[in-house]
Amino acid sequence: MLQQGRQEEARRKIRAHLTLAPYDGWFLHEAARLARRNGDLDTAQRYYQRALKLAPTDAGLLNGLGLTHYDAGCWSEAEACYQAALQSHMGYAACHNNYAILLHKQQRYHLALNQYRLALQSQPDYTEARYGISTLLAHMGQLQEAESQMQQVLQVRDADQRCRNSLGMVQLQQGNFAAGWSNYQARYASDNPDRFFTLPKLPIRYWQGEDLRGKTLLVRTEQGMGDEIQFCRYLTRVKTEKHAVKVIMLGSKSLKSLMVTLPHLDNYLTREDVQHTLPPADYWCSLLDLPQHFLNSTQPFSAHHPYLFSSAEQQARWPIEGNGKKIGIVWKGSSGHKNDSQRSLAHLSQFAPLFDLPDINWISLQKGAGEEEIADFPHIQPLGAQFTDYQDTAAVISQLDLVIGVDTSVIHLAGAMGIPCWVLLPAWARDWRWLENRDESPWYPQMRLFGRGQDEEWSTVITRIKQALQQQ
């Protein structure tokens, strides 16, 4: 029944048998596995523990119980089970892989790397472990080796869209844009279990580079606010270089008042505006698929900076006090971001070494998480907490001499407005858009990157920023 996929029938048979023979080890193990796969983790745990009373050192049972604890978010218990299983059975490839996944999730990168290598040492054709080590190597910044491992996975599983998407991001970070943008389309592939989003089914054709003369293109936003700010530049270029007669953006409500300043954009709509009817268009495209159509141009990243603006009237609503240099700061991103623990500062106080520099007026651009931390620093103007949309943020940024911040939408806005911006980048799992071994960005001419080394604390990065400010 299990082999035929008749799981519910098998589960009933197993439970009936265990009523008569409650300590039948094989049936307990199968009952535990079925319960875990169905998400009934408490029941699975009870079955595993009952089976382990019969065979306390059974590596398969210990590994299964570890998986159950992992699924329940009990990571220390899961680690103890994996360690016990490997003590009973060294070279247990599946358990090495499961342990590596746990360590990777906990950002214990070097230990995870060792476990992945042990899994592959025991079972060289273990494709899932090879994919795991490839993503870990990418997070560790070892991009060439990460790409090699991903290519090996795709030699075995050519249709693995999850791996193809990861490969695309590695290639983009290495500056291999043609291959990178092509593979990055797997981010929304319907057979990618880790897809970022699903393409909607719209009654118009998807644009793949067809001639746009006399045509209307509808572009749909995707992912975060920073992505929309960074890549909206291509909407202008679709009009001026691809000669579309009309360009319409379907975007985010909080960005609308800002995005209407984008040159040559004919219309900006939000999802609320088009709940029932889409505007007429000949083609549509997802925003981050646009760059691949400009790779052969003389300026594949951008033709014009700045490309987003704030009016004098809007700026007048946000007067900034002081006569010295004006520097805006942002120290946290969204807590929901999967790498937020690496990219955000723990507290505004980590910026404190900068605050004793003379003749600088500090302005908080922080909105949301962390904005309350400004209370401990009365000399910083707390404007960010008062923002209602990104046009408010833009009105303040346009008056600044410099923005210093972690990798968030605010630094993208500064870059899009042509305001000098210094960005603190994390040591681990750095985003693909910041190219490897670079302290500047082709996306934003006014930007300077301060990457954290893997053996550094944020305090060391902030010391480098302080020295750079003193040299200005």
Please give the domain boundaries of the chain with CATH numbers for all domains. 7-188 (1.25.40.10), 205-294 (3.40.50.2000), 312-470 (3.40.50.2000)
pLDDT at 281: 96
Average pLDDT over residues 355-373: 94
Residue 320 pLDDT class (50, 70, 90 cuts)? very high
Q: What is the pLDDT of residue 120?
A: 98
Task: Please tell me the predicted confidence (pLDDT) of residue 411.
Answer: 97
> Is the separation of the CB atoms in 404 and 320 below 8 Å?
no
Task: For residues 140 and 30, give the distance between their C-alpha atoms in angstroms, rounded to a whole number.
Answer: 38
Is 80 exceeded by the pLDDT of residue 24? no
Choose the weakest-confidence range: 55-69, 109-123, 335-349, 450-464.
335-349
> What is the band of 13 on the pLDDT scale with cuts at 50, 70, 90?
confident
Instruction: Average the pLDDT over 118-147 and give the result.
Output: 97
Q: How many CA atoms lie within 13 A of 141 on its CB side?
A: 14
Using alpha carbons, select from 372, 368, 471, 369 the residue that is nearest to residue 422.
471
Beta bridge partners of 225: none
Whole-number mean pLDDT of the chain? Answer: 93
Task: Tell me the pTM.
Answer: 0.91
8 Å CB contact between 131 and 162:
yes
Residue 234: its H or E element: helix 233-240
For residue 360, is pLDDT > 80? yes
Q: In degrees rounded to 5, what are phi and psi of residue 455?
A: -110, 15
Residue 418's nearest CA partner among 262, 304, 332 is: 304
Higher pLDDT pick, 2 / 261 = 261
Residue 305's pLDDT is 85
Q: Out of 1-15, 162-176, 223-237, which region has the weakest mean confidence (pLDDT)?
A: 1-15
The predicted structure's pLDDT at residue 394:
97
